[in-house]
Amino acid sequence: MKKALAVLTVLGACGLYGSQVFAACPTGVSLPMYHFLDSYFACDNSKPVSAFAYQVTAPTTVHSGTENLTPAAFQGPGVVRINSDWGNPLMVGCPQGAGGNARLMLVVQASDGTGVIASISGNNLIGLYAVETAHPYNTDTGEITPLPCVANNGRPRLNSFTTNTVDIHVDPIQLYTDCLPGTLGTADPALGGLDSCLDGFTSPAVGIGGIYTRSEACGTKPDVRRASWVRSTATLDAGGNATVPYTKPDNTGKTCATDPTCLCAFIGTTTSIDGVEGGSINGFIQVAGSLAAPPTAENVRAATDSGKVKLSWSTSNEVGLAGFRLIAVSKNKGQFEIGSLVAAKGSSSSYTAEVRMGDLKGSRSIIIRSVLTDGTTVDAAPVNF
């Protein structure tokens, strides 16, 4: 990992970056936004990653539009780097004005549904949007720690469903910013810090702005611009729960296991910062339509270790899949459910789960049960341990 103490060297690289040909912001300048010290978001990128940026105070008029913020040339396995410029033609608006570079929000959702929500200011010692300013920084060693994708990124968790409603739960959002202690943004400039927290963005009121729905091709990365989704009448209660009405897409005549034109319903949320709703869907789940060949758990494995049973399985498709339930099988007690629903990831994926031996009540066999969005279930063959 590059060290922030080498900022002067990187500034030279910034000059090279800015010399590329970009359509300019209205102010007539190139305005890079990227991981300029080669750090990254540590996220699952085995499938396409969703990334979006917008100005905190003008989320619907200044945003990244259809710009790809994570071009393939700058990524690696488990490595997601932002690399873009507000002068690029697909960007909408410009975050630079008379007061300098306005504060931005970056929203990333990884392949496994986890994500990063980070806020950065472009008003700093180098005058560009350096994503690392929101990263942890060790002033003794100059090392910058990658930011991890986390589960509390606004992505709904499915509790139960019917053919026209979905019961969801949304955890409180974890917001990373360049104003948090221990980040590159707040570190002493004499020790390599970039002094980017100049706007008092230290303790904003962060919450869920709204719940939204959208129909799009199953298994794809949806357009996460808020304007392309429909706001739901449902709202979260004090516990973070809501019952969301949705319309199941009509895929009549299609074999959705093989037809890429099949549509699925998506449910997502937005972020609210100090009462201003963001311009992006920050986390989403897929709720599929009808299905010809239902997805099942494959390659199911189970092993005992330290009083627990460790399970693993995979899927080759997840069209129409809401999630999985773990079912214990016992000669004396029959079948009974263990734990809560394991939410589907939306595309072919790998899964793991742990079960305490005590919860199995003497059972030595487990079924991974696929739960489909139409209310039906499909069982994989029991696995013994």
What's residue 268's pLDDT?
93
Q: Report the predicted TM-score, pTM, of the whole model to 2 decimal places.
A: 0.72
Clarify whether residues 233 and 347 are in a common domain.
no
85 within 8 A of 30, measured Cβ to Cβ: yes
CATH number of the domain residue 326 falls in = 2.60.40.10
Instruction: Indicate whether 14 and 134 sit together in one domain.
Output: yes
Residues 241 and 368 in one domain: no
pLDDT for 379: 84
- Is residue 118 located within the same domain as residue 198? yes
Q: What is the DSSP letter of 137?
A: B
Question: Can you tell me whether residue 69 is helix, strand or coil?
Answer: coil
Neighbour-count burial of 280, counting CB atoms closer than 10 A to its CB (0-12 exposed, 13-18 middle, 19+ buried) = buried
Residues 315-366 have pLDDT tens digits of 866 767 888 999 998 877 788 889 888 988 877 788 999 999 888 888 889 9
**pLDDT tens per residue, range 301-325:** 999 888 899 999 988 667 678 889 9
Q: Are residues 253 and 309 in the same domain?
A: no
Q: Are residues 306 and 251 in the same domain?
A: no
Decide if 293 is inside a domain: no
Domain residues for the domain of 349 are 298-384
Q: Same domain, yes or no, for 256 and 210? A: yes
Q: Which residues contact 42 (CB under 8 A, 6 or more apart)?
A: 78, 79, 80, 146, 147, 148, 149
In a domain, 99, yes or no: yes
Question: Strand locations in 110-198, DSSP E?
Answer: 115-121, 129-130, 147-148, 157-161, 165-169, 176-177
- Domain assignment present for residue 16? The answer is yes
Residue-wise pLDDT for 196-249, tens only, equals 999 989 889 999 999 999 998 887 778 888 999 999 999 999 999 999 998 888
Instruction: Verify that 281 and 305 share a domain, yes or no.
Output: no
